[in-house]
Structure 1
Amino acid sequence: MIKFIDLFAGTGGIRLALEQACSDFGIETECVYSSEIDKNACLSYELNFGVNPYSDITKVNEFPDFNFLLAGFPCQAFSYAGKRKGFGDTRGTLFFDVERILKQKKPNYFLLENVRGLVTHDKGRTFKTIKDSLESIGYSVSYLLLNSSNFDVPQNRVRIYIVGVLNQPVKLTLNSDLGAADTHKFKKKSKYIQISLFGEEQEKAVTVRDILESDPDQKYNCSLDFVEKLRKVVGNDFTNLHGYRLIDYRGGKSLHSWELGVKGDCTPQEVEFMNLLISNRRKKIFGTHQDGKSLTKEQILTFYHENDFSKVTKSLINKGYLSCYDNKYNPVCGNMSFEVFKFLDPDGISITLTASDANRLGVVQNNIPRRITPRECARLQGYPDTYKLLDNDNAVYKQMGNGVSVPVVKAVLSNFIEHNYAQQLTKATSGQSKAYRSLFGIQLLPAADAMR
């Protein structure tokens, strides 16, 4: 039996993945301790696993015996979305508590999950600190960088998965794969792999379309006012919004507040001015001192060639789209004013879910622009529909943005169990699982006799 503890448990995604993986191998599991400090996440955990894990792990010192530690320890110190301060040693961080518990209890195995930025933070010194500390306790350590979109989860989400075995070499046959960085590359890659050498179509890759609810509640529809603003730009065919980001400080496949008239309608000349400013202000010819520079009139006139500079800029300043300080002009960006900041392409993958904006991802379904639902958000993380969601949309969006992609964790754990845990059981000859032997070519003890 695998007895495990579930630290920084969130809504239980890593636990769910371990239980699924062990079930496939016929291995019994028992969660002997779980810990989470977010109260809403604890409610979700209790709803699905029957126990409320609320506790502050930094203040817990006694633990029951276990042989597997799971921990998706918080990632703000290393995340690209955070300030990436990291640490020079483990003291003062929540990883310290993982290290402390491993030292105290010496379980046979562990799995840690974190953001990809952990590997490169501080030129690799942060990850080296973590790896060295784990090895000093007696663990052999291996890690994988994997993209959820490679595991039938239609989301571009790259995470690091760190595994360890006590006093034994660790073995994995999975390889790191960063996957497709965006929907365009994903669609190009999936189109290629769907054609075999003989020109026959293979199984279709899972996309956003596959996770959409067939009859979502109308409360997720965009407001009539916002829809009319979108209509002014894309017309009556809202599928033109597929893949568009609503963002003021980027060009490319983007819609901007001045195009939508969020702060007031703009003339075609004003829209052209703002779009040219957005697309040109990052050019190195205007300096390398910052990303997105404020520009003088003289600099702007090198790419805006109309004779109405004063009229256009005055109007844009009055409407709040443009600012001017020290005779330099800069867009005034207000991206939080958009009901949706990204319309997903149904035939592609989602951008990475985050806790702060998962509630503002959108999709066009049946020509209706709307936000994705909490259930769709959970599906974007690979949670099965049997997983119960709180009747609190904002809490669920946050939880899923903070969560793990369950199928990816399951794949890592299945590979890990096959080559590290199950290999210890190959001497037994009785009570073997025929399905397991045929799949992996090894023998397995009855779950009740395993790793007592």
Structure 2
Amino acid sequence: MDQPDLMASRAAEQPQSHGERQQEERALAARLLDIYDKKTLVAKLNELGGNWRPESLVRWLRDTSVRRMLTEQEVQCLRGLLPSPPAHYARPAFRFIDLFAGIGGIRSGFEAIGGACVFTSEWNKHAVRTYKANWYCDPQEHHFNEDIRDVTLSHRPEVSDKQASEHIRDLVPQHDVLLAGFPCQPFSLAGVSKKNALGRAHGFACETQGTLFFDVARIIAARRPAIFVLENVKNLKSHDKGKTFRIIMQTLDELGYEVADANASSPDDPKIIDGKHFLPQHRERIVLVGFRRDTGLHQGFSLRSLEQYYPQRRPTFGELLEPQVAEKYILTPTLWRYLYQYARKHKEKGNGFGYGLVDPLNPHSVARTLSARYYKDGAEILVDRGWDRPLGEKDFGDKQNQQRRPRRLTPRECARLMGFEAPGASQFAIPVSDTQAYRQFGNSVVVPAFAAVARLLESRILQASRMRQEEMDGGRTRQ
């Protein structure tokens, strides 16, 4: 990540005129305003002794007659808020795309083994801000898309499959690996007669129309990447009595891909990866690794080999926590009383519902799955602060117990529990509110788990990249 920003490199090559410098500064500020709010940028500038206000920053951005220029120190300060390109960016080992990208949890591991992301699709505007704050998105080389349907044209029934494929190839660059954490939706069967009228195929286009998996399938069909990695919740296999998963697997087979461990079933299905092997959180996800059948890359590959990349020592839950947190993260007496009584009521009925209290002093503690609803009450993962676990409601009035009320995780601690940063570090930028941050981390993946998948695939990805280069060189030779 120590390669200088391309903008900075050009600036160092030759002196700039006032107009060129001003245009460059505004471009920099515009990129930052896609990520951070004006108050954050003004605060950063004023830390250097400036006297900026949000109003003056907006006026400076919009009014070209304003002659003030940023100092070099201010430029460097703002540039430091943007991610730098990885060291291998100029000559990547392979190319990949990131669909339903969230905040880049799957991207991380594939970039770490030398890949360059050339296309990203994510519709949530808050997730896009966090993504752009942490992952280099070259305005010249990287394409950023919001609504994937604008690429696949799946929301336009009058468009034929052929037209859609041409549109996809125009917008999505050629790549070796496709990554997608697509949402799970019910699959409805569309009428074959309508498909015939529109000139569409009956296969995956028939059974997956109207689902977001259909958009992934269209891109795979149009771009034919050598490898894909698809991620979803574990319950995808049982969704709609198994119908959803059956259609997905049939679709991928029809497209000419071999899915690793396709016939493996529970309880020992290597396609189900639990994040607890990497971090102290029980988080199971289904991972579908597919290889284009004609490449032969699927031979001998199994996710069972992932165990070789398990860490020798997993961080403890306590090591992920900050030494001190703000009072706002401690449950209020009212909320804690409600959660406790709710859990006790269900326990008496023989149900397993209730809060998840995690002891940070126990090195073997494993938290429940962090969910996107964590911002509501934090019930699934509460940090034990010495609560005595009372037998009756009267104990809630005990002063000592009130002082030791559990607390929820901070967004920074969630980033560590998901593996976006190491314990004790704060290098992952969180430019959004706590509510949005909880949603983003709860919707993401355990980063080191997918980094392990990337490492397991590395040799095959590099082989796929060489194949693509040879095909391109062969095409140029024939011309």
Compute the TM-score of the two structures, normalised by the length of structure 1.
0.59
Give the corresponding residue for 2:119. 33
Equivalence for 2:238? 120
Contact in 2 for aligned 1:2/1:30 (Cα 8 Å)? yes
Tell me if 1:342 matches 2:356.
yes
1:390-418 residue CA offsets vs partner (Å, 9 max, x unmatched): 24100000001111110111111211223
Which one scores higher on RCO, CA 8 angstroms, separation ≥ 6? 1
Match of 2:444 among 385, 397, 403: 403
Distance of 1:175 and 1:247 partners within structure 2:
43
Aligned residue among 116, 136, 147 for 2:274: 147
- Give the 3 Å change call, closer, same or farther, for CA 205–90 of structure 1 in structure 2: same
Counterpart of 2:133 in structure 1: which amino acid? L
Q: Identity of paired residues, percent?
A: 36
Match of 1:175 among 304, 309, 315: 304
Q: Does 1:92 align with 2:210?
A: yes
Letter in 1 for 2:317: V
Contact 1:38 1:54 in 2 (8 A): no
2:277 equivalent to 1:133: no
Distance 1:160 1:344 in 2: 25
Which of 55, 80, 104 is the equivalent residue of 2:146? 55
Q: Is the 8 A contact 2:99 2:121 kept in 1?
A: yes
Change in CA separation of 1:141 and 1:174 when aligned onto 2, cut-off 3 Å: closer
Q: Is the 8 A contact 1:148 1:405 kept in 2?
A: yes
CA deviation after TM superposition for structure 1 residue 352, in Å: 1.1
Q: Which residue is equivalent to 2:419?
A: 382
- Bigger fraction of residues in helix: 2
Deviation at 1:177, TM superposition (A): 9.6
Deviation per residue, 1:258-290 (Å, 9 max, x gap): xxxxxxxxxxxxxxxx975x34xx8xxxxxxxx
- Distance, in Å, in 1 between the alignment partners of 2:232 and 2:341 is 28
Residues 1:146 and 1:87: Cα distance change in structure 2 (over 3 Å): farther
User: Residue 172 of structure 1: SS of its match in structure 2?
Assistant: coil
Tell me how far 1:87 sits from its aligned partner.
4.7
Note if contact 1:156-1:349 (Cα within 8 Å) is conserved in structure 2: yes
C-alpha contact 1:42 1:53 (8 A) present in aligned 2 = no
Over aligned residue pairs, what C-alpha RMSD do you find? 3.4
Q: Does the C-alpha gap of structure 1 residues 107 and 50 become closer, same or farther in structure 2, counting only changes over 3 Å? A: same
**Hey, what's the Cα distance between the residues in 2 that align with 1:275 and 1:349?**
21
Aligned to 1:421: 461
Aligned residues: 296
- Counterpart AA for 1:354: S
Look up the SS of the partner of 1:394 in the other structure.
Answer: helix
How far apart are 1:221 and its partner, in Å?
1.8
In the aligned structure 1, how far is the partner of 2:256 from the partner of 2:149? Answer: 23
User: In the alignment, which residue of structure 2 is the partner of 1:362?
Assistant: 382
1:8 to 100, 103, 108: 100
Paired with 1:425 and 1:100, the residues of 2 have a C-alpha distance of 22
> What corresponds to 1:108 in structure 2?
226
Q: Where do 5+ consecutive residues of structure 1 fail to align?
A: 23-27, 78-84, 179-201, 231-244, 249-253, 257-273, 283-291, 293-334, 428-444
4+ residue segments displaced more than 4 Å: 202-205, 224-227, 422-427
Q: Which has the higher strand share?
A: 1
State TM-score, norm by structure 2: 0.55
In 2, distance between residues paired with 1:224 and 1:136? 57
| Structure 2 unmatched ranges of 5 or more | 1-92, 138-142, 152-167, 190-206, 262-270, 387-403
CA–CA separation in structure 2 for the residues paired with 1:206 and 1:87: 43
